[in-house]
């Protein structure tokens, strides 16, 4: 079922959902299930599965030289979605990236998603690779998420990339896109970034999931500004509980977001990471309670491969 239909069916009740990361190449999928299992009691209608950007790996040739190759260290997104749907009887949403894929490869993946019965896809650009100064699409790839949305929406209308296809059975994907309450790091301003978000919605996006944020006022202002420029699709807040002390540096550095001073001080006062995890849980519970009271359609959690803290938060709310 589509995310938008889940939201309609909930009739104003806030839903619980979360995002998981595929195992590293060669690792067992059971660890992923072990993290999903404890969260199923909170009835997530859908689970997101991320896609990793390709990375450089260095192969030691044994002759003193390193061979530089590109690979994806966490493959399997679409297959994992199919196995989650099969095992848990919930919708699973693959994240699709512009980065590293040609449009033909993307079409191929979308056809797989369609035949597997996936009703939703999340359309994202992806970040630049570590040693690139800015994002570059591969030749023949989508350069912005809005282009990827258009490709998916075209396919929903039966328009494949090359016109020699007789369409007998259309896909009808519900399309999610990313939104940034504190603006995307590359955007010159929030106003410009919101215009880009509107382009994604105009191209066919059906709902927005936000980047993590720790100050609900930023989310509420973002939603108000989005509504003011005609973005009328559901906006789902993304919540990330702080889990280790290093998050104080990593999260602002990687995601260009602010942390509230009270949270920083509470984390700094912790003796170890067990205490930090507890602070993160308490903070996320308060944050989630306020968002729920404000009537957000879904509370979507970034589990980052470990679910004990998400379970503690969900227990207090759902």
| Region near ligand FAD per CB under 6 A, out of 22-30, 180-188, 256-264, 286-294 | 180-188
Closest listed residue to residue 177, CA positions, set 295, 3, 1: 3
Q: Cβ(146)–Cβ(120) under 8 Å?
A: no
Of 107 and 147, nearer to ligand FAD (C-beta) is: 147
Q: Which residues contact 109 (CB under 8 A, 6 or more apart)?
A: 78, 94, 96, 101
Both tokens of 266, joined, read 């509470």
The answer to the question of residue 240 lying near ligand FAD (CB under 6 A) is: no
Residue corresponding to tokens 């994002």 = 135
Q: What stretches of the chain adopt beta strand conformation (E)?
A: 15-20, 46-49, 55-60, 66-71, 91-97, 120-124, 174-179, 207-212, 235-239, 298-302
The minimum distance between CB 41 and ligand FAD, in angstroms, equals 24
Q: Which of 19, 54, 107, 182 is catalytic?
A: 19
Alpha helices in 89-163 (DSSP H): 103-116, 145-156
CA distance 306 to 311: 10
The answer to the question of residue 50 lying near ligand FAD (CB under 6 A) is: yes
Q: Is 19 a catalytic residue?
A: yes
| Region near ligand FAD per CB under 6 A, out of 46-54, 57-65, 220-228, 285-293 | 46-54
Q: Of 146-175, which residues contact ligand FAD (CB under 6 A)?
A: 146
Q: Cβ(176)–Cβ(119) under 8 Å?
A: no
The answer to the question of residue 53 lying near ligand FAD (CB under 6 A) is: yes
The answer to the question of residue 94 lying near ligand FAD (CB under 6 A) is: no
The minimum distance between CB 206 and ligand FAD, in angstroms, equals 14
| Region near ligand FAD per CB under 6 A, out of 30-38, 108-116, 143-151, 160-168 | 143-151
The minimum distance between CB 254 and ligand FAD, in angstroms, equals 10
The minimum distance between CB 147 and ligand FAD, in angstroms, equals 8
The minimum distance between CB 44 and ligand FAD, in angstroms, equals 15
Q: Which residues contact 81 (CB under 8 A, 6 or more apart)?
A: 49, 92, 93, 94, 113, 116, 118
Count Cβ atoms below 10 Å from residue 42 Cβ, excluding itself: 19
Of 128 and 156, nearer to ligand FAD (C-beta) is: 128
The answer to the question of residue 6 lying near ligand FAD (CB under 6 A) is: no
CA distances, 161 to each of 17, 83, 142, 166 (Å):
33, 28, 12, 12
Count residues near ligand FAD (CB under 6 A): 22
- Please list the active-site residues: 19
Q: Which residues bind ligand FAD (CB under 6 A)?
A: 50-51, 53, 95, 97, 124-127, 144-146, 178, 184, 186-187, 193, 196, 200, 209, 211, 238
């Amino acid at each position: 079922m589509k995310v938008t239909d889940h939201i309609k069916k909930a009739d104003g009740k806030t839903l619980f959902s979360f995002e998981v990361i595929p195992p590293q190449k060669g690792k067992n999928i059971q660890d992923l299930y072990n993290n999903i299992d404890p969260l199923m009691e909170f009835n997530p209608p859908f689970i997101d599965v991320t896609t990793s950007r390709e990375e450089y790996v260095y192969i030691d040739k044994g002759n003193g030289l390193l061979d530089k190759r590109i690979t994806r260290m966490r493959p399997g997104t679409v297959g994992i979605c199919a196995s989650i749907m099969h095992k848990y009887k919930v919708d699973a949403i693959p994240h699709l990236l512009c980065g590293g894929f040609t449009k033909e490869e993307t079409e191929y993946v979308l056809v797989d998603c369609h035949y597997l019965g996936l009703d939703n896809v999340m359309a994202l650009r992806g970040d630049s690779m570590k040693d690139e100064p800015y994002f570059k699409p591969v030749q023949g790839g989508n350069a912005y998420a809005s282009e990827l949305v258009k490709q998916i929406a075209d396919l929903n209308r039966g328009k494949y990339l090359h016109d020699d296809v007789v369409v007998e059975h259309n896909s009808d994907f519900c399309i999610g896109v990313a939104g940034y309450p504190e603006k995307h790091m590359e955007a010159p301003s929030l106003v410009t970034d919101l215009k880009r978000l509107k382009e994604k919605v105009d191209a066919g996006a059906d709902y927005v999931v936000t980047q993590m944020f720790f100050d609900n006022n930023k989310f509420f202002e973002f939603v108000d500004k989005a509504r003011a420029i005609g973005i009328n699709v559901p906006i789902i807040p993304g919540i990330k509980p702080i889990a280790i002390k290093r998050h104080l540096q990593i999260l602002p550095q990687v995601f260009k977001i602010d942390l509230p001073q009270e949270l920083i001080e509470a984390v700094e006062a912790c003796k170890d990471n067990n205490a930090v995890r507890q602070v993160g849980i308490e903070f996320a519970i308060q944050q989630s309670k306020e968002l729920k009271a404000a009537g957000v359609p879904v509370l979507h959690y970034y589990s980052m491969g470990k679910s004990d803290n998400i379970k503690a938060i969900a227990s207090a709310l759902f």
